[in-house]
């Protein structure tokens, strides 16, 4: 074996012990992203929340597989100390799909976005993934072309993404249009109103409503049986109205954030973390509380879906 073939062999996905056991025993597994932890939530709350997300998955009968990169190694099922590292270390990269090989070959520490997490999870045979809000088409995208790689990746990745819609900092209508074009399936959980992340109602109807984990498991089975269509199912799980961020506060904070974004010339992958950080600091933690509730609710539902989709557990 030459040096280079040995090197190539180093780039396989590594499974955390708990995920290896779960795969061996056929237990339900839920994929979780790490960008939310490293770039989406402020320290020190981010570590506490990362642990709460995993615990919520366990409490609902599934095994959490938080995905990320440590020293260039792509890991499905980060150990607690590794999550702690990604939550607290400086210089953790935000890894989309296109960054994975670059991070691996350069020995990076990195957190995976919705795009990268779903691609890796699907490659690992995991069918359900929980996050907060998807990336999508940014406002002003007709000038900036800023559209998250979450959308194009989900168009070719067979996984169920449980989320509270797309982040309300985006153009929700344009994002729904793009998901239609890209062949990403969309349904509301218990509603046909597509949620708006911090706010319950994102202002748009979707074509499908699904009402139970068993029904969603049925969609997964039908897709697998038909073998037609490789795209994701985005399941919008809205916050109850009394738990949302006050819409007036939301709109004012967003307007201010967008102004700061333009003033500071923030672009590329810094946009989303910048706007989320602006929300969390200028609402004095109110948006943070809401963000955490969103993620925990999605983690619980994702675990219930994974359980319903796992034969021995249904």
Positions marked active-site? 33, 167
User: What SS3 class is residue 224?
Assistant: helix
Q: Which two tokens stand for residue 107?
A: 């020995």
**Facing residues of 63 across strands?**
29
> Which residues sit in the known binding site?
94, 114, 146, 148-150
Site residues for ligand PSU, 86-115, by CB under 6 A, read 113-115
As measured in angstroms, the least distance from the Cβ of 138 to Mn ion is 6
User: Which of residues 99, 109, 146, 150 is near Mn ion by CB under 5 A?
Assistant: 146
As measured in angstroms, the least distance from the Cβ of 179 to Mn ion is 16
Residue 35 contact among ligand PSU, Mn ion, none, beta carbon within 5 to 8 Å by kind: ligand PSU
Site size toward Mn ion, by CB under 5 A: 1
Half-sphere exposure for 49 (CA within 13 Å, toward CB): 31
Question: Quick check: 148 binds ligand PSU (CB under 6 A)?
Answer: yes
Q: What is the DSSP letter of 270?
A: G
Alpha-carbon gap, residue 218 to 308, rounded angstroms:
9
Alpha-carbon gap, residue 46 to 117, rounded angstroms:
18
Task: Tell how far CA 313 is from the center of its chain.
Answer: 25
Alpha-carbon gap, residue 73 to 139, rounded angstroms:
35
As measured in angstroms, the least distance from the Cβ of 271 to Mn ion is 6
**x/- contact string, 23-62, with ligand PSU (CB under 6 A)?**
----------x-xx--xx----------------------
As measured in angstroms, the least distance from the Cβ of 245 to ligand PSU is 12
Site size toward ligand PSU, by CB under 6 A: 20
Q: Which stretch of DSSP H or E encloses residue 147? A: none
Count of Cβ atoms closer than 10 Å to residue 215 Cβ:
14
List of residues contacting ligand PSU (CB under 6 A): 33, 35-36, 39-40, 113-115, 131-133, 135, 148-150, 269, 271-272, 276, 291
């Amino acid at each position: 074996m030459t040096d280079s073939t040995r090197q190539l062999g180093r780039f396989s996905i590594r499974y955390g012990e708990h995920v290896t056991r779960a795969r061996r025993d056929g237990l339900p597994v839920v994929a979780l992203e790490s960008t939310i932890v490293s770039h989406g939530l402020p320290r020190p709350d981010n570590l506490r929340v990362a642990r709460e997300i995993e615990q919520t998955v366990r409490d609902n009968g599934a095994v959490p597989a938080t995905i990320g990169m440590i020293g260039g190694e792509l890991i499905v099922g980060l150990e607690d100390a590794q999550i702690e590292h990604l939550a607290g270390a400086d210089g953790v990269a935000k890894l989309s799909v296109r960054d994975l090989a670059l991070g691996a070959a350069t020995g990076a520490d990195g957190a995976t976005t919705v795009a990268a997490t779903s691609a890796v999870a699907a490659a690992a045979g995991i069918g359900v993934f929980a996050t907060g809000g998807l990336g999508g088409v940014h406002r002003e995208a007709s000038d900036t072309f800023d559209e998250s790689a979450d959308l194009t990746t989900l168009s070719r990745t067979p996984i169920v993404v449980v989320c509270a819609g797309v982040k309300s900092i985006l153009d929700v209508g344009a994002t729904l249009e793009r998901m239609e074009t890209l062949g990403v399936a969309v349904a509301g959980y218990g509603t046909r109103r597509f949620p708006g992340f911090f706010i319950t109602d994102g202002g748009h109807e979707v074509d499908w409503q699904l009402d139970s984990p068993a029904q969603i498991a049925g969609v997964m089975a039908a897709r697998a049986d038909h073998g037609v269509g490789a795209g994701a199912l985005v399941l919008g799980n809205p916050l109850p109205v009394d738990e949302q961020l006050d819409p007036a506060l939301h709109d004012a904070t967003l307007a201010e954030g967008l102004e700061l974004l333009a003033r500071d010339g923030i672009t590329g992958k810094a946009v989303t973390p910048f706007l989320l950080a602006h929300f969390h600091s200028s609402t004095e933690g109110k948006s943070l509380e809401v963000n955490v509730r969103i993620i925990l609710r999605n983690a619980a539902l994702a675990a219930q879906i994974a359980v319903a989709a796992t034969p021995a557990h249904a």
